[in-house]
Copies of this chain bind each other. A is one copy, B any other.
Amino acid sequence: MRDLLDPRRMLVFAEVARSGSLAAAAQALGWTQPAVAQHVKRLERDTGCTLVIRNSRGVTLTEAGQSLATHADAITARLRAARADLSALTDLRAGQVRLAAFPSACATFVPAAIALLQERAPGLDVRLTEAEPGEARRLLAAGDADLAVTFDYDNVPDTPAEPARTPLFDDPMLLVLPSGHPLADRTDTDLADAADQRWIAGCPRCRTHLTTAAASQGFLPDIRHSTDDYVVTQTLVSTGLGIALLPTLALEAARDPQVTTIGLRRHAPRRVSLTSPADIPPSPATAAAASALIDVTGPRRTAKSKAEV
């Protein structure tokens, strides 16, 4: 950079080349003539070349001057292009958003949100990665995602270094039973009423919601089978191998006609949120994506969570 020509002088010189005289260039720049003359003189000193031939009608460029003016014009064009590109980013005519979302969100409202976003800002490059909340948070922290749709349970505290989180809506947990199960004719129940059942749960890492909820009701669930897949879960339930807890969203994504679901009294719902990296101001594209997700999930918001938002 030290050995580079001063680019501001180049711009001044480009104006001189365009105007054909120092005085005209000065007027175009809103300066006085000596100001421009000083720039040109300095440029000639720096380059060691005579750049202009001064005559009584203004100046004419030497070959060196013409060469320099060409480069100067290219720089001007670049500066314009830089501004234009930044405008495109802020106006959402360009830009990228990398979304991460958990499976049942990906299977339900997220595609609608992306469609809405593409409609609002067709120039955006939107990319979705399916990821469970833990993985999604890793992606955000590593800078491999801009925005994540995550969930958490009230009773399971999150990591201490919590990224910025905006609640989207509450996703109530439902008890999933085979049709014809003794509990299946109730409209809702306490979790404790299912204490003696056999359970289908998620992998050891993902079953904490069930085990902590059960522990608070004073029992240890008898977990016989484990899967993180909500389709598999329902198949196992419908086959009579056990009962399960599933969030409403999962059942909305895929519903086995052979199972019955009933509500749970005094049972905390799964909370679905928007998570973004901590302390990073969202880009216009990311903000637009967040808006689209909030708008699409608006109907799901309960009065309580609406007040929070």
Interface residues of A (CB under 8 A from B): 1-8, 10-12, 15, 28-30, 47-50, 53, 60, 62-64, 67-68, 71-72, 74-76, 78-83, 85-86, 89-90, 95-96, 143, 280-281, 283, 285
Contact = CB atoms under 8 A, between A and B. Distances in A.
Nearest to A69: B82
A89 B63 contact: yes
A3 B79 CA distance: 10
Nearest to A76: B4
Contacts of A74: 78
Q: Which of A12, A72, A75, A76 has the most CB of B within 10 A?
A: A75
- Give the number of copies in the complex: 2
A50 B86 CA distance: 10
A35 B62 CA distance: 37
Given A71-B79, A78-B71, A96 B60 contact: no
Q: Which of A47, A67, A86, A89 has the most CB of B within 10 A?
A: A86
B11 A281 contact: no
A204 B11 CA distance: 53
Given A1-B15, A7-B8, A90-B49, A71 B63 contact: no
B86 A49 contact: yes
Q: Across the A-B interface, give the 3 residue pairs with the lowest CB-CB distance, nearest first.
A: A7-B7, A71-B82, A4-B79
Contact of A85 (B6, B8, B71, B280): B71
B68 A86 contact: yes
B1 A29 contact: yes
Given A1-B11, A1-B15, A67-B82, 12 more contacts: A1-B28, A4-B11, A4-B76, A7-B11, A10-B82, A49-B90, A53-B280, A63-B89, A64-B86, A64-B90, A71-B81, A75-B78
Nearest to A285: B63
A49 to B, nearest CB: 5
22 contacts: A1-B11, A4-B76, A4-B80, A5-B79, A7-B7, A7-B75, A8-B8, A47-B86, A49-B86, A50-B281, A50-B283, A63-B95, A63-B96, A63-B285, A64-B86, A64-B89, A67-B82, A71-B81, A72-B82, A75-B78, A75-B79, A78-B78
A8 B6 contact: yes
A30 B50 contact: no
B64 A283 contact: yes
Contacts of A6: 8
Given A7-B75, A10-B79, A30-B2, A85 B62 contact: no
Q: Which of A78, A80, A280 has the most CB of B within 10 A?
A: A78
Nearest to A95: B63
Nearest to A143: B60
Contacts of A89: 49, 63-64, 67
A48 B281 CA distance: 13
Nearest to A49: B86
